[in-house]
Structure 1
Amino acid sequence: MLLLVFGEHLSRNALLPALAPRIDGTSNSFSVAAFSLLQRIDEKLCSALGCFNRPVSDFAAWKITSATLSPENAREGLKKPANQSILQVEIQNRLAIPILLPNLEISLTDAEESELKSIELAPKEWLPQSWQESHPDFSKFGAPAGEIIQAELPITLPPNAAGYRVRILYPQ
């Protein structure tokens, strides 16, 4: 039993995200209750033995709920160049624990789906300034459980751009 307790303590940064239920309601009630018990045990172990609490990176935690690319000049009365657009992205941490914020990668493609341009944005570049101010230690603690983040990103499109993809990634 003692070996099991110390094993949990040593592997907590891999074990907790793997067992964390999803906030979006897709987890069954048994797994939610079991995870709640595991968190209470983990908190007691951490208070007794000390823990290094750091957010973990987990692709499965993130859900891009919407991504829309719209011309900025349509809203601005043609004050901006024709190739200036706004990418609106909504992303959610679906797990019941804080998760490290990912980079966003925007791939712009032509009509044949060939990539024209790829843009990679670190969290400081894509997170709204108001969100960064309300979560000053986001790089240390990650995004809270269930957090939904809405961002608007200005993007200059190549002249023959016809499509786009938004992906999350963690730098190596």
Structure 2
Amino acid sequence: MGLSDIAAGVEVTTEQCKRSIAAVDATNDSLTDRLAAFADELPCRVEEATTLIEAYADGASVGQSSRTAGLAPITGAKTLHLLGEPIAATTPMDRTIVREWLNAECTRTEALSLSNVGETEFALAAFVETHDPIPGAREALESVFALDSSPTVSKRDALAETMSDTSELF
């Protein structure tokens, strides 16, 4: 049986629709308004989350962003995680150990000892493993975290200090 035999009788009955990426620009709403939809699922008030995100997007660490928002650093980290920002207080191996503890494969004391992290990092890792980000939250914040959201700042400009010049090689 050849390809022509297999294709015999096959015909196109409809035309393909033009496909494209849907673009939704929710930047007309303030960040506080966009976060209001997720208020019940956040561990802090929307105003605090707004301040946290703005400071974090400006380049502050999770701890500094949290303090700017008047939150404990672990609450800030939890909030960022729930809003879709990847937060990892532990290594992949430590996360495996936390998962084993959550699955009752070892005791908490053993897991803490094996993971070699402090109580706070262990608690955050357990939170991250047991709580998925809020559906739709990351999309609502996309414009805040986009490097090229400002027309005057390109990705190359934003990363300029991490790049070396060819003259530095000699």
TM-score, normalising length: structure 1: 0.22
Normalized per residue, the structure richer in strand is 1
Structure in which a larger fraction of residues adopt helix = 2
The answer to which structure, 1 or 2, has the higher relative contact order (CA under 8 A, 6+ apart) is 1
Q: Answer with 1 or 2: which has the greater Rg.
A: 2
